[in-house]
Amino acid sequence: MAKKIVEIHDLKREFRMGSEIVKALKGVSFSVEEGEFVTIMGSSGSGKTTLLNVLGCLDKPTEGTYLLDNVEIKNLSRNELAQLRNRKIGFVFQSYNLLARTSAIENVELPLLYNSSISINHRHQMALKALEAVRLSDRLDHLPNQLSGGQQQRVAIARALVNEPVMVLADEATGNLDSRTSYEIMALFQELNKQGRTIVFVTHEPDIALFSSRTITLKDGRVIKDSKNENIRSAKEVLAALPVTED
């Protein structure tokens, strides 16, 4: 039996908008095991981002339980949540969110700066390793504006990997990229998953979901479908089948 990374039970999240209450999550339950590649699907407004924020310890549920790596997060303080994010979670955002005018390697080192147990030397080594994993070892000193969108997202993925998290969370990580680059990024995620990374990937594009091992579909804040993917597409093969273009 694989270790459970995520266990959520009857998770609810409500937002108060003046006198109105918006129920973004209306009781969501599932668990994610170590090594899974889960996509969370659903149309816009279905509660994907809200769910991911809770999974990433950026937000707390209004009701229900959430165990991250067997730690109940309900009673943790703001600082403890920050520490949990720093040690256990890797985030990848739609808009990369790299620090401008800051080299790739420094961007990748950033999470480790907030971990005082890591020495300068070790920090550098870990960042190099993470950039190697996304195959950007030759772009260490490039600034974000000297990198393509796909390369920037790979730097962001390296930043998510650098602290060796128990789980990588991605919110529409291919949303800003053309389809070819999207496939490249998905190929990278598949590769990382093969190496044992647990990945939760939010998307509203059905063809992206085909690359994952499991798809959870949300609608109006509820899980309407949760299925293992029997034949996972290989992003690498899809890429190879694409007509070659100048890159």
Partner 1 sequence: MKLFNLIRIALRALQRNKLRAFLTMLGIIIGVGAVIAMVAIGQGSKKSIQDQLSSMGSNMITVRPNSNQTPGGGARLDVSTVQTLTLDDIKAIQNQAQYINAVSPAVQGRGQVINAAMNWPTTMQGVSPDFLTIRNWPLKEGVSFSDEDVNGAAKVCLIGQTVVDNIFDPGDDPVGKTIRFNKIPFKIIGVLAEKGENAFGQDQDDILLAPYTTVQKRILAIPFIQTIYASALNSETSEAATQELSQVLRTSHKLTNSEQDDFTVRTQAELISTFSSTSQLLTVLLAAIAGISLLVGGIGIMNIMYVSVTERTKEIGLRMAIGAKGIDILMQFLIEAIVISITGGILGVLLGLLASKLITVFLSWPTLVSESSIILSFVVCAITGIFFGYYPAQKASRLDPIEALRYE
Ligand X SMILES: Nc1ncnc2c1ncn2[C@@H]1O[C@H](COP(=O)(O)OP(=O)(O)O)[C@@H](O)[C@H]1O
Among 5, 36, 39, 48, binds ligand X (CB under 6 A): 48
Question: How many residues are given for the chain?
Answer: 247
In angstroms, the first-to-last Cα distance of the chain is 44
Among 45, 206, 237, 240, binds ligand X (CB under 6 A): 45
**Residue 45 binds which entry of Mg ion, ligand X, partner 1, none, with Cβ cut-offs from 5 to 8 Å by kind?**
ligand X
- Of 44 and 79, CB closest to ligand X: 44
Residues that bind Mg ion (CB under 5 A): 49
- Of 8 and 173, CB closest to Mg ion: 173
Minimum distance between the CB of residue 44 and partner 1, rounded to whole angstroms? 14
- Pairing relationship of beta strands 20-33 and 89-92 according to DSSP bridges: unpaired
- Degrees, nearest 5: CA angle 28-33-38: 65
Place of tokens 């999240």: 13
Minimum distance between the CB of residue 168 and ligand X, rounded to whole angstroms? 18
DSSP labels, 141-196: T--GGGS-HHHHHHHHHHHHHTT--SEEEEESTTTTS-HHHHHHHHHHHHHHHHTT
Q: Which residues in 68-127 contact ligand X (CB under 6 A)?
A: none
Phi and psi at residue 185, in whole multiples of 5°? -65, -40
**Residue 91 binds which entry of ligand X, Mg ion, partner 1, none, with Cβ cut-offs from 5 to 8 Å by kind?**
partner 1
Cross-sheet strand order for the sheet of 4-17: 20-33, 4-17, 63-68, 71-72
- Of 40 and 192, CB closest to ligand X: 40
Q: How far apart are CA 193 and CA 198, in angstroms?
A: 6
Count of other CB atoms within 10 angstroms of residue 207: 13
Minimum distance between the CB of residue 139 and partner 1, rounded to whole angstroms? 19
Minimum distance between the CB of residue 114 and Mg ion, rounded to whole angstroms? 25
Minimum distance between the CB of residue 12 and ligand X, rounded to whole angstroms? 12
Q: Which helix (H) or strand (E) holds 19?
A: none
Minimum distance between the CB of residue 187 and Mg ion, rounded to whole angstroms? 23
Q: Is 42 in the site for ligand X (CB under 6 A)?
A: yes
Q: Which residues in 19-38 contact ligand X (CB under 6 A)?
A: 22, 24
Q: Which residues bind ligand X (CB under 6 A)?
A: 15, 17, 22, 24, 42, 44-50
